[in-house]
């Protein structure tokens, strides 16, 4: 059905959150179907809606898209958030790759044991402050522009803001020592579409809790222990 944009995932962040961010940043409305039961998931499987038997799945422009990165790239290109040429796209892809790796450390966090959570929190902060944040701080300092790539708002900016906020949830003063990123955070947060997404009542999902972990485990029959990487 033309115009219908629908997200299929759990009622929580996980791998779908970056997609919610990007759509919201682009000012695009979307519907969501939340997986609560194993039966819902099995129905999607039986209907052949999940190419590799996995969610996220996004119905967009007549396609049932899976694979988070593919979905994000399509949305970025469609809504002109992917730079003006191949080289700008290369930079955006590189930067998004980095923030993706950083957020990957946080993705599994809710599934860890209490003891592993403490260790992982330290890993997240260490990676953020010694590997990732310095890289983006330098990019912004070197060109002195408002946005990461091509002096234009892009997917890279949305993804970096998302990552910054997620790391701050683990350590609130993590941006001290990164003045460019502090200014970046303030700037991007005040872009109207993003500002709206950051307000209560938006489709942004809260920090994952035990209920979310329970739901994922139940729907995916994923009862094994998750170890930190």
Residues that bind another protein (CB under 8 A): 51-53, 61, 63, 65-70, 73-74, 77-78, 86-87, 89-91, 93-94, 96-98, 101, 131-132, 135
Q: How far is the CB of 192 from another protein (least distance, A)?
A: 26
Q: Which is nearer to another protein, 69 or 119 (CB)?
A: 69
CB nearer another protein, residue 67 or residue 189: 67
Nearer to another protein, 49 or 189 (CB): 49
Strands 31-34 and 6-9 turn out to be parallel
> In angstroms, what is the minimal distance from the CB of 90 to another protein?
4
Closest CA to 159 of 16, 18, 7, 14: 18
Q: What is the Cα–Cα distance from 27 to 203, expressed in whole angstroms? A: 12
| Least distance in angstroms from the C-beta of 205 to another protein | 23
Let me know: does 216 contact 222? Beta carbons within 8 Å. Answer: yes
Q: Cα(149)–Cα(32) distance, rounded to whole angstroms?
A: 31
Burial 54-86 (b: 16+ CB within 10 A, else e): ebbbbbbeeebbbebeebbbbbbeeeebbbeee
**How far apart are CB 152 and another protein at their closest, in Å?**
18
Please give the DSSP secondary-structure letter assigned to residue 29.
-
**Nearest distance, CB of residue 85 and another protein, angstroms:** 10
CA–CA distance, 49 with 52 (Å, rounded to integer): 9
- 89 vs 194, beta carbon nearer another protein: 89
Q: Please say which residue, 90 or 122, places its beta carbon nearer to another protein.
A: 90
Shortest distance, CB of residue 73 to another protein, whole angstroms?
A: 6
Rounded distance between C-alpha atoms, residue 69 and residue 97, angstroms? 10
User: Dmax of the chain from CA atoms?
Assistant: 52
Residue closer to another protein, measured from CB, 63 or 183: 63
């Amino acid at each position: 059905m033309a115009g219908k944009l629908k997200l299929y995932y759990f009622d929580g962040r996980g791998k779908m959150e970056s997609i919610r961010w990007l759509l919201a940043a682009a000012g695009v409305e979307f519907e969501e179907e939340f997986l609560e039961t194993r039966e819902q998931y099995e129905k999607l499987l039986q209907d052949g809606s999940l190419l590799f038997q996995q969610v996220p799945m996004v119905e967009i422009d007549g396609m049932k898209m899976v694979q988070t990165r593919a979905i994000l790239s399509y949305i970025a290109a469609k809504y002109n958030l992917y730079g003006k040429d191949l080289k700008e796209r290369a930079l955006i892809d590189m930067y998004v790759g980095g923030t993706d790796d950083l957020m990957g450390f946080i993705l599994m966090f809710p599934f860890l044991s209490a003891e592993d959570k403490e260790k992982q929190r330290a890993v997240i902060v260490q990676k953020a402050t010694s590997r990732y944040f310095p890289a983006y701080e330098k990019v912004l300092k070197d060109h002195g522009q408002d946005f990461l790539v091509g002096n234009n708002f892009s997917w890279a900016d949305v993804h970096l803001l998302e990552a910054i906020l997620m790391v701050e949830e683990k350590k609130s003063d993590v941006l001290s020592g990164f003045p460019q990123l502090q200014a970046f955070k303030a700037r991007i947060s005040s872009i109207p579409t993003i500002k709206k997404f950051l307000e209560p009542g938006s489709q942004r999902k809260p920090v994952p809790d035990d209920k979310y972990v329970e739901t994922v485990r139940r729907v995916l029959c994923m009862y094994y222990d998750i170890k930190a990487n």
